[in-house]
Amino acid sequence: MGQSTAYAKPVVLVVEDEPLQRIMAVELVEDAGFEVLQAWGADEAIRILEARPDIRIVFTDVDMPGSIDGLKLAASIRDRWPPIQIIVTSGFFNLKDIDLPEQSVFFSKPYEHDKVTAELHRMAAI
């Protein structure tokens, strides 16, 4: 009897404190073909990252409650988990207003789903 090889979907951690925005981001990432984990803030995201070494991409908002915001989360990820790709989003900040870590991409809200999907696929291929 032959065995089929199951390929795991790349794992994306969505970090967003606003429930409706999180639902929309999770649906976008799932529709793009990824496995999705969710965190309501950066503190929870760090705990998930420490427990799940299979996360390939973090999709985070900038403005969140907790001890650190999304930009500090992105910087922490770059320091502690360098291979993880990062997508940063914000409805309040523009790219010129923020300093992104290397291997990060910024999208203003509302973001275009097709562009985010293309970026997720590009990052997963790295």
Query: For domain 11-125, which CATH number applies: 3.20.20.70, 3.40.50.620, 3.40.50.2300, 3.30.1330.10?
Result: 3.40.50.2300
Kindly write down the DSSP assignment for every residue of 12-81, as one continuous string.
EEEE-SSHHHHHHHHHHHHHTT-EEEEESSHHHHHHHHHH-TTEEEEEEESS-SSSS-HHHHHHHHHHH-
- Residue 97, pLDDT score: 64
pLDDT of residue 15 exceeding 70, the answer is yes
pTM assigned to the model: 0.90
Neighbour-count burial of 82, counting CB atoms closer than 10 A to its CB (0-12 exposed, 13-18 middle, 19+ buried): exposed
pLDDT computed for residue 6 by the predictor: 55
pLDDT of residue 1: 47
pLDDT digits over 67-105, tens only? 899 999 999 999 999 999 999 999 887 766 678 888 899
